[in-house]
Amino acid sequence: MRVGWRGSRALGAEVTVVNCTETSAFPVYCDWETFGLPGMKVRWEYALEKAGQLGHVAYRHRKLECTFDGSPDQQRFAEIWRRHIGKTPVFEPAEGMLRDGVWWG
């Protein structure tokens, strides 16, 4: 396991990479957690797997979790996502999340 930083704790991302040193039969797992983004925190988990050709790697998304301070922050994230990914994100409450005074999950 390796942990590193892009940027700083004030504005950046902590990157954790987990890979097996004994064999390449298992994917390399990469987790990114953001710090300092106004109104939100983003945690993205994905895996790097061999795509069948030497030197080629496929990205497999495992999980994307976002927490927002409010609805405007969620809308700002959605607009940025649409601009860069080309699709509108679909948000679902996290398991065990309190929403509108009711526990979800």
What is the C-alpha R_g of the chain? 16
- Write down the pTM of the prediction: 0.71
pLDDT higher than threshold 50 for residue 51: yes
In this predicted model, what pLDDT tens digit does every residue of 70-101 receive, in sequence order?
A: 999 999 999 999 999 899 998 887 766 655 55
Q: Provide the number of structural domains found in the chain.
A: 1
Q: Is 64 strand, coil or helix?
A: strand
Any idea how long the chain is? Answer: 105
Region for residue 101 given its phi and psi (left: phi exceeds 0; alpha: psi -120 to 50; beta: otherwise) = left
- CB environment 17-54: b (16+ within 10 A), e (fewer): eeeeeeeeeebebbbbebeebeeeebebbbbeeeeeee
State which H helix or E strand residue 33 sits in: strand 28-35
Residue-range definition of the domain harbouring residue 52: 2-103
pLDDT of residue 55: 65
Mean pLDDT of 47-72: 80
pLDDT of residue 103: 46
Which has more confidence, 82 or 8?
82
